[in-house]
Amino acid sequence: MEKDGRSNFEMGKQYYLLVDYREAIEHLSDFLENNRSNSRAPEARYYRGRSHEELGEIEEALGDYARVILFDESTLWAREANRRKLMLGEFCDEGDEMIEQARAQASEYQDEELLDIVEHYAAMRGEAAVSEEILEGAGLETGAKSHEPAEQRLGELFIQTSPVEALINVNGNPIGQSPLLLEKVPFSQLVIEAETGSMDGREEVTVSDGALQRITIQLQLKPGSLRINCDEQEISVYLGGRPMGAAGSGLFSDIVPGTHRAEPYNRCGGPSHPLRNH
């Protein structure tokens, strides 16, 4: 039984890391069924909660996190569960109450880092919600002046980015910095763009019901430019095997970030003189 339990525990964590959350839940549940007093039970329950969370099963995730907080004597996984519970408070009607619970637990665990996070989220609930005026300025009529009931036409959208604190544009209009909660968003197709420094990202989202939607935009390095010094302007340039055209002025744009091999070819298709790139 111990061997089977250990196997289910390890396989459950592996499936979680492989992003197969349904299989993770199944194996971790099998482990917990016969090992509720095992020292690894809080960790197993935490990862089962994380799997539920990733699948959008918020109530199940909150239930697992609450039990971890209640039964983890080491407080290691209880602290992590408390953080996840705080994060999920953003998407629940009881969000303010959950923030207070997280603050109390953080004080009990002497978790100074989480206390700072709690204050951040408490402030964000008051500041991150984008006003109707900003949404209307972005070309999104909120329906306040419409004769249709607002609850039938409006939804909510929570925008996160990785990394955080990216500038957010909706349909080409700037509305703030991530993380960002958009309230009273009319049912529509939205183009959301995020940018920070040398990175950017883009997502298209359809708001079609009143439920809260969450998106996370993974930012990527922007394409760059490459200048190649070449004595022969008419030779063809290949970058990583891809034809880039004639050398010309030596300036090539929209280059995917990374390491590339630049090769020159003369009119006959053979290699030419080496290139000097900068």
Same domain flag for 57 and 36? yes
What are 148's two structure tokens? 């249709």
Same domain flag for 152 and 84? no
Supply the CATH number for residue 215's domain. Answer: 2.60.40
State mean pLDDT over 177-184. 80
User: Structurally, how many domains does the chain consist of?
Assistant: 3
Q: Give yes or no for a contact between 65 and 44, defined as CB atoms under 8 angstroms apart.
A: no
Same domain flag for 105 and 28? yes
Same domain flag for 123 and 135? no
Other Cβ atoms less than 10 A from the Cβ of 225: the count is 9
Position 147 pLDDT exceeds 70:
no
Half-sphere exposure (Cβ direction) of 180: Cα atoms closer than 13 Å: 25
Sequence-separated (6 or more) residues with CB below 8 Å from residue 191: 170, 171, 172, 202, 203, 204
For residues 254 and 28, the model is more confident at: 28
Last residue of a domain, one of 89, 107, 127: 127
State mean pLDDT over 213-229. 81
What whole-number distance in Å separates Cα of residue 167 and Cα of residue 178? 7
What DSSP state is assigned to residue 239? E
Last residue of a domain, one of 64, 94, 127: 127
φ/ψ of residue 35, rounded to 5: -140, 40
In terms of residue numbers, what domain contains 19? 2-127
Rounded to 5°, the CA angle 215-203-145 comes to: 80
Same domain flag for 91 and 145? no
How confident is the prediction for the chain on average, in pLDDT? 75
Same domain flag for 149 and 68? no
Position 26 pLDDT exceeds 60:
yes
Same domain flag for 152 and 59? no
pLDDT band of residue 116 (cuts 50, 70, 90) is low
Same domain flag for 206 and 137? yes
pLDDT score at 148: 45
Same domain flag for 122 and 134? no
Query: What percentage of residues in the chain have a pLDDT greater than 70?
Result: 62
Supply the CATH number for residue 50's domain. Answer: 1.25.40.10
